[in-house]
Amino acid sequence: MGTGTETSAGTSNEPRRVAMTPAARRALAAAERLFYERGIHAVGVDLIAAEAGVTKKTLYDRFGSKEQIVVEYLADRDERWRAFLAERLDAVPAARAAPAARILAVFDASRAWMADHGSKGCSMVNAHAEISDPSHPAHAVITGQKRWMLELFTGLARDADGIGPDAADRLGRTLMLLHEGALVAHGLTVFPDPVAHARDEAHALLAGAGVIGR
d(CA 88, CA 96): 18
pLDDT of residue 13: 63
Q: Is 17 helix (H, G, I), strand (E, B) or coil?
A: strand
Pick out the chain residues at pLDDT < 70: 1-13, 95-97, 213-214
Instruction: Report which of 110, 130, 132 is spatially closest to residue 121, judged by C-alpha positions.
Output: 110
pLDDT of residue 6: 40
pLDDT of residue 96: 59
pLDDT of residue 173: 98
Predicted TM-score of the model (pTM): 0.88
Instruction: Report which of 69, 197, 85 is spatially closest to residue 145, judged by C-alpha positions.
Output: 85
d(CA 168, CA 155): 8
d(CA 180, CA 94): 27
C-alpha distances out from residue 106 to 43, 67, 186, Å: 32, 30, 16
* pLDDT above 70: percentage of residues in the chain: 92
